[in-house]
Amino acid sequence: MNKYNEFLADLFKDHSNVLVAHDLIEKLVTQFEVTENYARQLISRAVKEKIIKSSEPFSFEKRQYFYMNSKRNIDVTALLDISKKYRKPLYRLLTLLSRTGGICSYYEAVKITATPMTNKEKYRVISLEDDIRRLNDHKIIKKVEDRETGIPFLILLQDQIDIEDSSVIRQKIKAHLANMKRDVMFINDIIRWLVNHGFITDKVSYRRKDNPNLGAIRNDFPFDATTISKTTGFTISTGKNDEDHTIVVMEILIYRTYEKIDLEAFFERIQSIRHSTKQESSARKVMPIIFYLDVDESVKREINNLHILNFSLKSIMGSNIVQVIEKYRDMKKIIDEAFIIDEETSSSVIEKIGESLTVIEESGQMENLQNLKGDLFETLMYTVLSNLFKEAHLEHSKVIKSLDDPKKAYEFDVIVRDNSEDEIVIIELKGLKNTTIINLGDTSTPNSIRWFFGKTYPVAKDYYEKNSEYDKSKIKGCYITSANFSQEGLQKLDELNKSNKIKPSFLDCYYDRKKLLNLLKDHINLNSLRKKTGFIEILEKYYLVESN
């Protein structure tokens, strides 16, 4: 071994030692009084002769490679060591994966690396896709797409996980999807709270329950929610267009502790949109807001030092929200793990729902948690419907992609495969306040009658009719709500109910508050469930009470 190689080998005798290219070149120049160009050649030869190892294809500070002991693997530990100082986006991504059991959605990867979603050529960032490809090539992570939802996920290849075992992957994806839905579960309630307290007044774009992998884009970057606020304070010069509103961007993290990596990524995205104007000297006004369930104390101090508005879910919705979330998680776990929803399982779920609603009521947060209350209604109705359809197979929260436009997907609350009638019933559930009126609307108005029967129901109908497995089944639809329909809406629903094209054999094609209560009180298939559980009492108390 020549003197150069001996020097390099000794330099990296300690396996934890790593050096970026320009630092290593400087050491060679100082030690041997050679030119920088010759030092580069010496490094290149040493890599070829396996005296030292390069981090290629992973580049870091100023797109330079790092060098290390020849026997050290380019693994997660090595990449974390290097990227913590020299490639923060990559460090945050790998740290996130280690925090979440080795899995995250592509959306979360984009957020944590502060990667632009559009107009990427504007920003001087290393491509996330290139990083994913390199990590995949080195068998550090693998990008997989969930067959059911179409959502892409990144999975950390550790603990000898069998990436080819679809059941293992599906289990990881299913568990993480539940976490993602926990994050979006409170978005509508948070937005309502912000409106009530005057923070925002405008229409809000936000990450939705039916596709938690799709956030709101603001100036090329993803956020959990974004809008415009006119709560900007008073200035001497009023009336100018650039002074009468502020961009609002939100970060909402519920399922895990809010950490430093989250704050760094959020702040980078904020800075990017602040300086995205054509006139670089004029930064846009941005009001960032963070919502979390738990936060590291040091991170909390840093958030306050950056003057970012931040709220604990416990502070705005009561400390009992933790107990509600735990009960909600337990309830969902019971359903997800049950092969069939029998009476025993139904009793456990109904008990958890009753306990959750009682806690919400006692905490005085019923008005603030309307969205969660609606989710509990949907879960309760899924459980009851599982008992009503004795011989059928039911699925809940099923995502179906449009055959006409695969980029569009809709989540369906309950799908009943009733083999006794050769029918598939698509059921829409809406747990709304009893004073709410659901209008006829149109296919552009969410929650309206025509939104379901004219837009989302046809997607499911098309999917099942063109699937050879269900080619003999008749596809029916049913809209069930704890609220009321408008008179115009009822006229249309009565028309649909007289037609065999949509009306199920076993149900009508719609149920409002009163009609639903009558069905559940009288149907023979629910006799046993009525005796063993208090689901009727729960519905009457929290959902189907008479309007004031």
Q: In degrees rounded to 5, what are phi and psi of residue 15?
A: -60, -25
Distance separating alpha carbons of residues 290 and 310, to the nearest angstrom: 5
Tens digits of residue pLDDT in 311-359: 999 988 888 888 888 888 888 888 887 777 888 999 999 999 999 999 9
What local confidence, expressed as pLDDT, does residue 82 receive?
84
Alpha-helical regions (H) of 241-320: 260-274, 297-305, 313-317
What local confidence, expressed as pLDDT, does residue 275 receive?
73
Where is mean pLDDT largest: 110-114, 185-189, 217-221? 110-114
Tens digits of residue pLDDT in 6-34: 999 999 998 888 888 999 999 999 999 99
- Residue 78: pLDDT over 50: yes
Buried b (16+ CB within 10 A) or exposed e, 319-329: ebbeebbebbe
For 426, half-sphere exposure in the C-beta direction (CA atoms, 13 angstrom radius) is: 27
Q: Are strands 286-292 and 246-253 parallel, antiparallel or unpaired?
A: parallel
What local confidence, expressed as pLDDT, does residue 539 receive?
95
For 239, half-sphere exposure in the C-beta direction (CA atoms, 13 angstrom radius) is: 1
Angle between helices 343-362 and 321-337 (to 10 degrees): 170
Tens digits of residue pLDDT in 404-459: 887 788 889 999 999 888 999 999 999 998 889 999 999 999 889 999 999 999 99
Distance separating alpha carbons of residues 270 and 221, to the nearest angstrom: 9
More confident residue, 317 or 41: 41
Backbone φ/ψ region at 123: left (φ over 0), alpha (ψ -120 to 50), beta: beta
What local confidence, expressed as pLDDT, does residue 157 receive?
85
What local confidence, expressed as pLDDT, does residue 461 receive?
94
Overall pTM > 0.75: yes
* Per-residue pLDDT band at 106 (split at 50, 70, 90): very high
- Residue 159: pLDDT over 80: no
CB 187 within 8 A of CB 225: yes
What local confidence, expressed as pLDDT, does residue 137 receive?
85
- Residue 163: pLDDT over 80: no
* Per-residue pLDDT band at 108 (split at 50, 70, 90): very high
CB 65 within 8 A of CB 21: yes
What local confidence, expressed as pLDDT, does residue 548 receive?
52
Give the three-class secondary structure for 440. Answer: coil
Helix, strand, coil percentages in the chain from 3-state DSSP, rounded to 5: 45, 20, 35
Tens digits of residue pLDDT in 116-128: 988 877 776 667 8
More confident residue, 487 or 178: 487
What local confidence, expressed as pLDDT, does residue 339 receive?
72
The gap from C-alpha 344 to its chain's centroid, in whole angstroms, comes to 31
CA R_g for the chain: 28
Buried b (16+ CB within 10 A) or exposed e, 131-142: bbebbeebebbb
The gap from C-alpha 252 to its chain's centroid, in whole angstroms, comes to 10
Average pLDDT over residues 287-303: 95
What local confidence, expressed as pLDDT, does residue 276 receive?
63
- Residue 64: pLDDT over 70: yes
Least confident of 48-52, 86-90, 161-165, 214-218: 161-165
What local confidence, expressed as pLDDT, does residue 147 receive?
80
The gap from C-alpha 138 to its chain's centroid, in whole angstroms, comes to 27
Instruction: Give CA angle at 263 (260, 269), nearest 5°.
Output: 145
- Residue 172: pLDDT over 80: yes
- Residue 209: pLDDT over 70: yes
More confident residue, 277 or 33: 33
What local confidence, expressed as pLDDT, does residue 365 receive?
83
Per-residue CA distances from 419 to 460, 461, 470 (Å)? 17, 16, 10
Per-residue CA distances from 209 to 69, 412, 495 (Å)? 47, 11, 31
Residues 6+ apart with CB under 8 A from 384: 346, 520, 526, 529, 535
Distance separating alpha carbons of residues 41 and 34, to the nearest angstrom: 11
CB 509 within 8 A of CB 479: yes
For 545, half-sphere exposure in the C-beta direction (CA atoms, 13 angstrom radius) is: 8
CB 136 within 8 A of CB 189: no
* Per-residue pLDDT band at 162 (split at 50, 70, 90): low
Contacts 24+ apart (CB under 8 A), 177-182: 177/146, 177/149, 177/151, 177/212, 178/329, 178/332, 178/336, 179/100, 179/255, 179/256, 180/105, 180/108, 180/212, 180/213, 180/255, 181/209, 181/212, 182/254, 182/255, 182/325, 182/328, 182/329
What local confidence, expressed as pLDDT, does residue 214 receive?
87
Mean confidence (pLDDT) of the chain: 88
What local confidence, expressed as pLDDT, does residue 494 receive?
95
Residue type at position 239 = G
Q: Which H or E run includes 438?
A: strand 437-438
Angle between helices 260-274 and 88-99 (to 10 degrees): 140
- Residue 240: pLDDT over 70: no
What local confidence, expressed as pLDDT, does residue 239 receive?
46
